[in-house]
Chains A and B, each alone.
Chain A
Amino acid sequence: MDIVVFFLAAAAAIATAVAVVAQKNPFVSALALLGNLVSLAVLMLLLEAQFVAIAQIIVYAGAVMVMFLFVIAYVGPRGEVGPGDRKPWLVWLAILAGALIAIEVIVVTYGATFSDWAEIDGDYGSPAAIGKALVTDYLLAFEVVSVILFMGAVAGVIFGTGGRPRRLSTDEVLAKEAESAEQRRREASRAVLDATRESMGEGS
């Protein structure tokens, strides 16, 4: 039973990861990452890590992905960037690098011997056990993460609100409108001129 769940979740995780990387539209990429996170949460449940699996879904799928989708909606179609003019050999070099790392890890783990799964009691992976570890053995890491999150929030606000487009004064708005009206007039007269020239050319 476990093996069936594992391979289903693994296939879903790999397929969605490929979709994240290959999709042109970042919105679709973000939704594919959502699927990736859920299939990884299933795998973590398979490893008896209930709390981490639920935190994965609540923190990532609930909070981080919503932020991603908001920014993607804010950016709009400008976020879609195609493959561009990368040289093909660079593309193949990048794919080769990724494949080599995967093969390297798989070969190393294939040759290594691992002990079996440890015996665990029902408390393993529960919120109580994780919470106890977080505020006793790993209190420093816990506090450091909170400080880093705070710094991240401050940095996000500073980046997001800085560089606000300057509001134009009334004179500037009027000048801009006059300029665009002038340009429209010029274009219209050019169109008339072109049409006249064309008809004269046909006439002669």
Chain B
Amino acid sequence: MAVSLPFFLALSAILFSIGLVGVLLRRSPLTILLSLEVMLNSVNLTLVAFSREIGGSDGQVFALVVMGIAAAEVVVGLGLVVAMTRREMVLDTDELRTLNG
């Protein structure tokens, strides 16, 4: 039995769901960012797997672009965490509801 595309798709679906549960359940913004990284990486795996299936480099370029955007997103998220720490706010997304409608 050889490794085929559905193996990779199933694995990345499982990883995506684990990351989704983390984003939904955790309250620390740091852990939420880490769970987001798990989700983004599972999508990267899907892109690379499909790229291998069609034999082009398009999916790999897409994966690299996703990596760049993820790095920018992490910078902004961690900047927010640092700003919250400097203002001595609670690092708990359930407590941060000033902008809540």
Taking beta carbons and an 8 Å cutoff, which residues of A are in contact with B?
2-3, 6, 10, 13-14, 17-18, 20-21, 23, 26, 29-30, 33, 36-37, 40, 43-44, 46-49, 51-52, 55-56, 59-60, 63-64, 67-68, 71-72, 74-75, 78-84, 86, 91, 94-95, 97-99, 101-102, 104-106, 109-110, 112, 114-120, 124-125, 129-130, 133-134, 137-138, 141-142, 145-146, 148-149, 151-153, 155-160, 162-165
Contact B17 A84 (CB under 8 A): no
Contact A49 B75 (CB under 8 A): no
Q: A84-B94, A134-B64 in contact; A148/B6 too (CB < 8 A)?
A: no
How many pairs, one residue from A and one from B, have CB atoms within 8 Å of each other in the complex? 256
| Complex-state Cα separation, A23 to B58, whole angstroms | 36
Task: Give B40-62 as 1s and 0s: 1 = Cβ < 8 Å from A's Cβ atoms.
Answer: 01001100110111110110110
Nearest CB on B from A100, distance (A): 8
Interface size on B, residues (CB 8 A): 73
- Helix, strand, loop or mixed for chain A's interface? helix
- Helix, strand, loop or mixed for chain B's interface? helix
| Complex-state Cα separation, A152 to B65, whole angstroms | 14
The 8 Å CB contact of B45, one of A44, A63, A97, is A44
Contact B20 A97 (CB under 8 A): yes
18 contacting pairs across A/B (C-beta < 8 A): A18-B18, A21-B19, A49-B52, A78-B90, A81-B28, A83-B27, A91-B25, A94-B25, A101-B16, A106-B9, A110-B6, A112-B6, A114-B53, A129-B57, A138-B65, A141-B61, A148-B69, A156-B75
